[in-house]
Amino acid sequence: MSNDIRSIKKLEVPLVVVLGERAVMMSEIRNWIPGSIVELGKEAEEDLEVRVNNTAVGQGSAVKLGENFGIQLNYIGDPKDRITAMGPSDSDSNSGSSAEDLAAALLDGQI
């Protein structure tokens, strides 16, 4: 299992910060032009959702870092959930270990 843990620690996973979401009718999308504004169902002061590997792991506020945006984390979930989000999906059965087992081993300090 230690090889699996080392592999997981080296994984690069997508980090996504969600500004907002809403359902949109296809007819509305067809009418979009440059300059169109799409309203999201979220208050400007609300925290943004932070996702790792498409799994929600926390929330934060947008910050400006020089010319770039960043996120200041205001809440971060359980460490096991974050580690599990970085691991292989349930459909990845070639490693022989579940993501939950790998997360538990990583949290226990096994390397």
Residue 26: domain span: 2-107
The model carries a pTM of: 0.66
The total domain count for the chain is: 1
Q: What is the pLDDT of residue 100?
A: 67
pLDDT digits (tens, 9 = 90+) for 1-23: 567 777 777 878 889 999 999 99
Q: What is the CATH number of the domain that holds 32?
A: 2.30.330.10
DSSP count for the chain of H helices, then E strands: 4, 4
Per-residue exposure over 33-53, b if at least 16 CB sit within 10 Å of its own CB, e if not = eeeeeeeeeeeeeebbbbbbb
pLDDT digits (tens, 9 = 90+) for 33-84: 999 999 998 888 899 999 988 889 999 999 999 999 999 999 998 877 777 7
